[in-house]
Amino acid sequence: MKTNYIPKPENTDAIQLSAELNDLVEAMAKNVHEVWAQSRMEQGWTYGPERNDQLKQHPCLIPYEQLPEIEKAYDRDTAVGTLRLICHLGFKITKE
30-64 residue pLDDT tens = 999 999 999 999 999 999 999 999 999 999 999 99
For the chain, domain boundaries: 31-88
Question: With 90 as the cut, is the pLDDT of residue 3 above it?
Answer: no
Residue 88, Cβ neighbours under 10 Å: how many? 14
Question: Minimal CA–CA distance to 87: which of 28, 16, 4?
Answer: 16
**What span, in angstroms and rounded, lies between the C-alpha atoms of 28 and 91?**
17
Mean per-residue pLDDT, 3-14: 93
pLDDT at residue 95, as a whole number = 86
Bridge partners for 58 per DSSP: 47
Question: With 70 as the cut, is the pLDDT of residue 1 above it?
Answer: no
Q: Is 33 exposed, middle or buried (0-12, 13-18, 19+ CB in 10 A)?
A: buried
Q: Identity (one letter) of the amino acid at 43?
A: Q
Question: With 90 as the cut, is the pLDDT of residue 23 above it?
Answer: no
When the pLDDT of each residue in the chain is averaged and rounded to a whole number, the result is 95
